[in-house]
Amino acid sequence: MARIPAQAEAVVIGGGAVGLACAYALARAGVGVLVLERDHVGAGASAGSACMVCPSHADRTASPASLRTGLRFLLDPKAPLKLRPRPSELGWVARFTAASLSEARAEEGTRLLRDLANRSTELHVAWGDELGTGLAMHGTLNLWGGDGAAAGQAAVVDEARHAGLAIEALDAAGIAALEPSVRGATHGALAPGDGHVDSLRFTECLAAGARAHGAEVVEGVEVVRIDRSGPRVRLTTTAGTVAAERVVVAAGIWTRRFADDVGVALPITPAKGYHAEFEGAVGDAQRPIYFSDAHCVATPLDGRLRIAGTLEIGTDPFAVDLRRVEALREAGERYLGPLPDPSGIWLGQRPLTSDSMPLVGPLPGDRRVIVASGHGTLGITLAPVTGELVAGHVTGELDAPDPLLDPARFGGLSGVRAAAGRRRAPVSR
């Protein structure tokens, strides 16, 4: 059985990309860190992401455009978006809908996310050199084909240029010169400031880097309760109790279980996603290829191609819908040609807040506890900058969180307990 110390300077709850980025940044700043992971490093959404580091796709999900897209896809079983809210999720859906009505709020959130993503990409490059994460900075290629291709390309290119992002419009010949294996695309756009990294390798490298700077990373230990009543924060875990000066809650979708303990609303819901991997199907691909019409991405990894996408809210978190997997394969074959049978299928739950903005910052009135969760599909992209922000809050370099990231922005717990999650016993493994 895993053993944990009785005391720690800072405890990070969660051993995914965000939690370990926080641990690495804190350890580099000289803070003594203990990481507690309920399963193993990278066991959650971090292992199965699309592996993109993508300022160009750092958009706020809660927007009028998302509402329109959601309504269009509502009855299509293969659509990239599926919404089947259970009764416990209805409050979250109502808040998400309300947050999606304002174009101005959507643009404000997207501006912040892109600023954060640009800074995070700089850190990805620096940390990649320090830790050997295997980061490749070859950009993201967006593709369009068929009716509406020209309009889709023009909208993305114009919006990116308006936002100050580097973007290059491509015709069919330009696409072929960049990625010879692509077929069937008439319009493309290259975002050269993007990169990609094997997300599990990245997470494991963060764990190794944190350990090298003195952090202790303990797997197989689940935190059951956060007690803030004393001079130190006490964590009840499946391996005993630990008292900490600071606690960082970076437990992904499981973060919502601690809403009662931390005293603020944490309206996070599981946004299920899939990937299918195809051994030996990488070809000459050098970068993530985003199929704009299907809203999914093919990312070349070591000897395999990963096609990832879809967003399911309110469905069975552990059930595989093979229609969704087939839709990923169909999108890949449309633009890349025949693919072998998948060598692996993955599904996981991304933590999505009801306004689709991350939660990053200390609790109101209690700076001992810092929340770092709710990154949705941008966990890998934003992990380093989240770590930097959390380290700034712990060391006192940052006085207050950005209002759009502030965990206090949803108010108290009254009326939101269903969305935030209730206390329950530890899950057997």
Cα(398)–Cα(361) distance, rounded to whole angstroms?
Answer: 10
Question: Residue 423: CB partners within 8 Å, gap ≥ 6?
Answer: 225, 257, 260, 261
Is residue 429 included in any domain, yes or no?
Answer: no
What percentage of residues in the chain have a pLDDT greater than 70? 95
Question: Residue 154: CB partners within 8 Å, gap ≥ 6?
Answer: none
Number of domains in the chain: 1
Using the predicted structure, report yes or no on whether residue 68 has a pLDDT greater than 60. yes
Using the predicted structure, report yes or no on whether residue 67 has a pLDDT greater than 90. no
pLDDT in tens, 250-290: 999 999 999 999 999 999 999 999 999 999 989 889 999 99
Is residue 176 included in any domain, yes or no?
Answer: no
Is residue 203 included in any domain, yes or no?
Answer: yes
For residue 425, name the pLDDT band (cuts at 50, 70, 90).
Answer: very low
Is residue 343 included in any domain, yes or no?
Answer: yes
Is residue 188 included in any domain, yes or no?
Answer: no
Is residue 253 included in any domain, yes or no?
Answer: yes
Q: In terms of residue numbers, what domain contains 339?
A: 7-139+193-420
Using the predicted structure, report yes or no on whether residue 383 has a pLDDT greater than 50. yes
For residue 358, name the pLDDT band (cuts at 50, 70, 90).
Answer: very high
Tell me which residue has tokens 């306004």: 355
The per-residue pLDDT for 413 is 67
Cα(358)–Cα(255) distance, rounded to whole angstroms?
Answer: 12
pLDDT in tens, 200-212: 999 999 999 999 9
Q: For residues 377 and 273, is the Cβ–Cβ distance under 8 A?
A: yes
Q: Rounded to two decimals, what is the model's pTM? A: 0.94
Using alpha carbons, select from 300, 262, 311 the residue that is nearest to residue 278: 300
pLDDT in tens, 18-65: 999 999 999 999 999 999 999 999 999 999 999 999 999 999 999 998
Is residue 340 included in any domain, yes or no?
Answer: yes
Using the predicted structure, report yes or no on whether residue 415 has a pLDDT greater than 60. no
Q: What is the CATH number of the domain that holds 304?
A: 3.50.50.60
Tell me which residue has tokens 């209805």: 90
Is residue 98 included in any domain, yes or no?
Answer: yes
